[in-house]
Amino acid sequence: MSTYIARRLLLMVPTLLVIATLTFVLMRLAPGGPFMSEKDIPPKAKQELLHRYGLDRPLYAQYFSFIANAARLEFGPSYKYPDRQVREIILQGFSVSAELGGWALLLSLLIGVPVGTIAAVRQNQPTDFAAMTLALAGVSVPNFVLGPVLVLSFALSFTLLPAALWMGPESRILPVLALCVSYVAYIARLTRAGMLEVLRQDYIRTARAKGLSERVVVLKHALKLGILPVISYLGPAAARVIMGSIVIEQIFAIPGLGRYLVIGAVNRDYTLVMGVVLFYASFLLVLNLLVDLAYSWLDPRVELA
């Protein structure tokens, strides 16, 4: 196990190096620059800005400097927010995005797994059809449509909840609901598929033949292996729900990491964009490793080589 973990951690280094290189190249190839605006900057002032941020050096020197600083988790100051370090912005934005995504993912599991399990146990019955119809609807409605609908219904029409910002417990409800609906649907469908496969296996028939109640058979014996597809999905899903909720953060004016990424891309804030992308990639790689470890723990037949 320790050898497997060490090998996976070592493999993350070249992966992150490739991602960092591609991000650097794409940002430099994008039209525009960090100091372009509607009002022309005097040439002398622009040259001073370029020199201050090291953008007057050759590209290869900028690249190697970026890689060396990234290895120390130092990305320098943001061009958009010159009085703030990129690392500080990432940590602040990630704390907000992690809370938003954590609540959404927890709610998705608490709803999706029971719904998928019930649908599998009652296959081809009205309960199954109703659950899968709702899941299909949840997958079909994008969150950039659901978000404004929730704001219009609960914030503007009935004034029950705040429409935006991140200032209190009640301000979490609408963005969490808008973010979690599609994940509830995916988890319910994956749980149903996994449970249907497990419920047909011989050891489940043996458990039933021994006189165990259906509740014990489902919850104690079938569910452990039936949720393996959900476990596999959780790695990229957790990274996406925690750090990829850009649309929701824009709709509800939430100061999360996704919103900073959008602001950085629009303003060609090289250090901010490259720092966020590398942080996101590292987070995704670590989550995938944790999913593999959880998979082998739940299913002893899986060996990590």
At residue 305, the pLDDT reads 61
Residue with tokens 């957790």: 238
At residue 37, the pLDDT reads 59
pLDDT at 243 over 70: no
Instruction: Note down the domain range covering 175.
Output: 1-305
Mean pLDDT of all residues in 146-164? 89
Show the CA angle centred on residue 200, arms to residues 117 and 133, nearest 5°.
Answer: 35
Rounded CA separation 60/62 (Å): 5
Mean pLDDT of all residues in 70-87? 87
pLDDT above 70 as % of the chain: 95
- Mean of pLDDT over the chain: 86
Rounded CA separation 154/166 (Å): 16
At residue 55, the pLDDT reads 82
Name the phi and psi angles at 6, rounded to 5. -65, -40
At residue 192, the pLDDT reads 94
Rounded CA separation 139/181 (Å): 8
pLDDT tens digits, 186-234: 999 999 999 999 998 888 888 888 888 888 899 888 888 888 889 888 8
Rounded CA separation 237/57 (Å): 40
Closest CA to 107 of 165, 169, 179, 163: 179
Residue 80 is given by DSSP the state S
At residue 193, the pLDDT reads 93
Highest average pLDDT, of 144-148, 189-193, 260-264, comes from: 189-193
Phi-psi region of 159 (alpha: psi -120 to 50; beta: other; left: phi over 0): left
pLDDT tens digits, 1-56: 788 888 888 999 999 999 999 999 988 887 777 776 545 677 777 788 778 878 88
Strand partners, 85: 77
pLDDT at 160 over 80: yes
Rounded CA separation 61/53 (Å): 12
Mean pLDDT of all residues in 262-285? 88
pTM here? Answer: 0.81
CATH number of the domain within which 115 lies: 1.10.3720.10
Count structural domains, the chain. Answer: 1
At residue 56, the pLDDT reads 83
Full DSSP string of 170-186: GGGHHHHHHHHHHHHHH
Full DSSP string of 9-53: HHHHHHHHHHHHHHHHHHHHHSSS-TT--SSPPPHHHHHHHHHHT
Closest CA to 224 of 204, 241, 238: 204
pLDDT band at 104; cut points 50, 70, 90: very high
At residue 64, the pLDDT reads 92
Rounded CA separation 139/125 (Å): 21
